[in-house]
Structures are given as structure tokens and as C-alpha cells.
Amino acid sequence: MFSRKTLDRVNEMMKDWEKEVEEVYVKKLKFGSPQYTSESGIPINYVYSPEDAKDSEPEMPGAFPYTRGNRALGYQYMPWMIQLLHGYGTGEETRERTKYLIREGMKGYGETPAVLFAVDTPTHCGFDPDSPKARGMVGLGGVNISTLDDIHTLLKDYDLPNTRVADNIRFTCLPFLAMYVVYAEGRGHKPEELNGQSQNGLGNRCLTTNLPAPTPDAQYRLEIELIKYSCQNIKRWNHTNLCGYVFGEMNITPTQELGIVLSKAVDLVEGGIKAGLKPDEFVPRFSSQVHLGMDFFEEIAKLRAWRRMWAKIMKEKFGCNDPRSLQYRIHVHTAGSSLTSQQPLNNIARATLQVLACVLGGVQSMHTNSYDEAIGLPSEEAVRTAIRINQIVLHETGIPHVTDPMGGSYYLESLTNKVEEEAEKVRAEIESKGGYFECIKNGWLRQLLEKQSIKWRQEVDSGERIVVGLNKFKIEEKEEVPAFTIYQPEIEAEITDRLKRWRANRNNTEVKDSLERVKEAMSNYDNVEKAGILMPALIDAARAKCTLGEMMEAIVEVSGGRIYST
């Protein structure tokens, strides 16, 4: 990036600088010279020079390897999507929250409404609300969905082809997608008209929550099934959200997050190829949910390295040619784990720094946490403030007027290279152990996550890591921000009652037969090469008014699992 002559001059200046630090600060002022490291353990210097950035190739946004951005123009042409994951209680309550968020500024690209909804744990796992396993949990942490009626309640006000429907579902993505396709069909829409995304991340959710899931082998097959179906039938559907967020919440480091997610992507692309797809057919439709913590510059470097590594892997390893396969689109979820319930307004400052890092890193989309999310579900005021942070950065600061404003920074270019190097080590290690899904099976990944979260706690307890308000700068908390709560028993009773009426109002022979066909398809689907045989059976089951729980039960009865512990 620099001529030899420039570098020689720089090295001379660097020697002078070092001399001054040594003589004035260390010797005279007794400066202790602490060695800083990034969150991922990368040693950080006190100052950077062209020498540190000399290995960075000159690059422009919109060109391979896309370190500086996917497109020639960034936010000047298209601001980031402001998407807030939300949902609780019944469909009506969640629908009201969606309306509120859209009114305040939540949106997809252009003016497309975005409905990014969270579901409760029974829906994640596939236990209908009347199941004993669901007791006490219906409507908590997300909306409950078990029938086509529930989807209607949530989405009846939206023109489906022009709405980005994104479900944040753990294990029941396939039954949900089948139900959504059938619901849309009832409103006169073909699958190819639909727009949105599935989480399709059974594996990582199982790892990070240890909730009842199918076995890892079955998870892999189910993920590939969803990729194949949506790739062939819903062209605009983002089939798989490569979610690093949940790992970040277990205190994995930024480079570990990147390495793990890339190892997962490699497994899935290989699976898609085995299922008979060409990489360029399905790679462009991977989406993401990246964790963004408090290490400001390393997080920016991570976002830049992420695009570069993705582009290289997809081009060099899988021979992708379509530029869309090489352009990694980034949705960030700011770190819930960085929030404190103490002095909760401090969380607005944390979120602002995280939004700033995202914008400097050139993300496509963002969920910004609300300041009260360490206490419970966010209040309306808190989610509005989270949206406002985005609008302030977008409209008041001028920051989005320049693409990749950190590009060329000696520090950031050097750090981007280092993050790439470290993340590649993690990816290679997982590969050497058999790949991502193998590392779920053999417990290696779960052990890593447990180790990291215990380490974080120990650092906080020892004071080695400062969290403002939690272990330093504490105050006598007078009054906490009131927790936004719902009266759960009433909601659970209402939802269970609705399900009872739904079950009474259908042909139970058809239900039984269609579930038998789901089991048969799942039995036959013993290898990813046969992908494509399960989804049609699920769609038929959804047409026969089977519930989400019934479909999942049929799958798990064949696949085994549910209580799978590493």
C-alpha cells in the first residue's frame, strides 16, 4: 500500500516516537506500559503506522473481496434496515407492538414493512400450548404460534409479497415455513411471491440453550431440507440465518464467533451441494445475525473481515461466480450480554456505541437493544429510544455519508487482517475436528461456550473486567425501571382455549393420515442427498390443519432427540 521510501521515513519517525515514550513516559513519569489486548486476545499497540497496514491490498467498496462493503454505494443509496426483534403473548399483542415499531421507524429496505418476530419457547421447541411441557411458558419471550389462525392474527394486516416476514424460530423452522406457505396460499399468494427469512439454525440454538431438540444429525438434514425447498420454491427467501449472536451471548470472542459461523456455513454449503444444488443457487440467500459487543474497533474489524473471508471462501473453496454469493449481507443484533440491569439508562450509551460500530462497519441491517432488556421485555418507550439511536446516527451526524470511513486507518486495516488470521485459526481447528456439526456431536463447541461464559464471570468477579454499574461505579439503586410484564396465566389459558377450538374444527382422520406421511417422509430422508422429500409432506400436513407441535412431534418421533445433551 505504501512505497519503500515512505515506509523508511515512517520507521524513522516511529523510532523517535518510541524513544520519547521510553525516555519521558517510562523513565521519567514511571508509566507502567500496560499491554492491551482486544476482546479476542489480539495484542494492541499504542499507535499504528503505515508499516502495520502495508500488507493490506488497496480495495474499493463493491469489488472483491468486499472488505469495504458489498456495493459501490453504501448508506448514501440505501440506509440500513432498522429491524427490532419483538413479540410476546398472543398474536394480537405482538401485532400491536409490530404496528407501533413500524410507526416509529422500523422498516426493511425501501418502505417494505419488516415483521421480525420472536416466538415463545414452546413454539421454538414444537410443544403445542396445551402440552404439559409448555406449562408456564406460553407467550413468554415471544408470541405463541401453533395454528394457521395464529399466523393470520399476526400478519392479517400485511400485503405478504411486500412484507419482510422473518421468524426467529429455533427448531420448528420447517413446520413453520410449511404453515406460512399454506397460509399465504389461502390468501392467494404463490410461494415464489413471498419475501422474508427462516432462522434455520437448529444446531446453534441447541448448543447455546440446551433446549429439547432433534439429534444433531437430524438437525443437519432439516437445515438442508429447508435450504433445498426454499431455493427451489421461494427465490426471495433468505433460507438460513447464520447466527453468531447466540454464541456471542455465551461470551465467545469476536474472532471465535466469526470462525464458528464460517465453519457452519462451510458444512451447510457442502450439504447443499450433496443435496443437488449449485452453490450459486443458494449461497446468495444466506443471511446473518452477528453479535456486536463492546470492543469497538475489534467489532468494526470483525465486520470488515467477515465480508472478506466469506468472499474468499465462497470463491476459492466453492467456485461461486455470482457476485451475490460473494457479498455477505450483515444483520447485527447488539449484544444483550453487554446490558446491565443496574443504572439501566447506561444501556442507551452502550447501544449508541454499538450502532456506531455497525455503521462504521457497513452493516445492512440492525436490531438495537432497548435499555430495559436486562430487566424484562422492553417497554414502548425503550424500543422507541432504540429506534431513535439509529435515526440520530442516520440523520444528525453525517456519519453515513462516507462509505467505509475507517478504510485506510492503519489501525483498522491491521486489526482487520489480525481478526481474519485469528478467525481462520478457529475455523481451521473446527474443520480439523470434523466440522461444525461434528463439533456439536462430540461436545467440543458446547465445552468452549461453557468455558467462555465461566471465564467472563470470573473476570467480572475479580474486577479484571470492568462493567460500569455492575462491578464498578455502583450506586444504591433507588428504584428500578419498571419491568414490562404480561399476565401470563391469562394469556396461556386464552391461547390453549383457541387451540382447543382449532382441534375441534378439523378432520382428524386427515390430520392423522398427513402426520403419518410426515413420519414416512422423515424415515426416508436419511441422507441429505434425498433432500426435498420432507417439505411437501409438511405442507400437506399444514393444509390438513395440523399444528406446529404435531408436525414437530412427527419429525422427532422418527429422528430421535428432544432431550439431547452434550
Partner 1 sequence: MGKDQRKEKMKVLMARFSLDGHDRGLLSIMNSFKDAGIEVVYIYFSDAKELAKVAEEEDADVIGITSSMGQHFYIASTLLKALNERKINAPVIMGGVIPTRDVPQLIEMGIKKVFGPGSAPRDAVDFVSGLSS
Size of the site for partner 1 (CB under 8 A): 48
127 binds partner 1 (CB under 8 A): yes
375 binds partner 1 (CB under 8 A): yes
The contact mask relative to partner 1 for 250-279 (x = CB under 8 A, - = no) is xx----------------------------
195 binds partner 1 (CB under 8 A): no
Q: Of 9-17, 78-86, 275-283, 335-343, which part binds partner 1 (CB under 8 A)?
A: 335-343
By beta-carbon proximity to partner 1, the closer residue of 342 and 417 is 342
By beta-carbon proximity to partner 1, the closer residue of 222 and 377 is 377
Residue 494 contacts by C-beta under 8 Å, 6 or more apart in sequence? 90
Q: Nearest distance from residue 511's CB to partner 1, in Å?
A: 24
- Residue 422 and residue 40: Cα distance in Å, rounded? 8
Cell numbers representing residue 71 in the block:
456495493
By beta-carbon proximity to partner 1, the closer residue of 95 and 124 is 124
Strands 213-214 and 237-238: unpaired
Contact 211, 560 (CB under 8 A): no
Which residue in 402, 428, 454, 493 binds partner 1 (CB under 8 A)? 454
Q: Nearest distance from residue 449's CB to partner 1, in Å?
A: 9
Q: Helix 488-504 vs helix 148-155: angle between axes, to the nearest 10 degrees?
A: 120
Q: Of 1-9, 62-70, 247-255, 280-288, which part binds partner 1 (CB under 8 A)?
A: 247-255
- Residue 60 and residue 64: Cα distance in Å, rounded? 8
By beta-carbon proximity to partner 1, the closer residue of 148 and 252 is 252
C-alpha separations of 538 from 154, 500, 501, 545 in Å = 21, 21, 22, 11
- Residue 551 and residue 553: Cα distance in Å, rounded? 5
- Residue 443 and residue 456: Cα distance in Å, rounded? 20
The contact mask relative to partner 1 for 355-374 (x = CB under 8 A, - = no) is -------------------x
232 binds partner 1 (CB under 8 A): no
Contact 551, 538 (CB under 8 A): yes
C-alpha separations of 92 from 123, 149, 221 in Å = 16, 11, 34
Nearest C-alpha neighbor of 124 from the set 552, 558, 563: 552
Q: Of 99-107, 111-119, 244-252, 401-409, which part binds partner 1 (CB under 8 A)?
A: 244-252
141 binds partner 1 (CB under 8 A): yes
Q: Of 54-62, 194-202, 208-216, 499-507, which part binds partner 1 (CB under 8 A)?
A: 208-216
Burial of 328 (0-12, 13-18, 19+ CB in 10 A): buried
The contact mask relative to partner 1 for 462-501 (x = CB under 8 A, - = no) is --------x------x--x-xx-xx-xx------------
Q: Nearest distance from residue 487's CB to partner 1, in Å?
A: 10
Contact 420, 428 (CB under 8 A): no
Which residue in 208, 255, 289, 379 binds partner 1 (CB under 8 A)? 208
Cell 463439533 found at: 439
Which residue in 232, 341, 352, 442 binds partner 1 (CB under 8 A)? 341
Could you list the beta-strand ranges (E) of 283-323. 286-292
Cell 455492575 found at: 470
63 binds partner 1 (CB under 8 A): no
Residues within the interface to partner 1 (CB under 8 A): 121-122, 124-125, 127, 132-137, 140-141, 205, 208-212, 249-251, 337, 340-342, 374-377, 450, 453-454, 457-458, 460-461, 470, 477, 480, 482-483, 485-486, 488-489, 563, 565
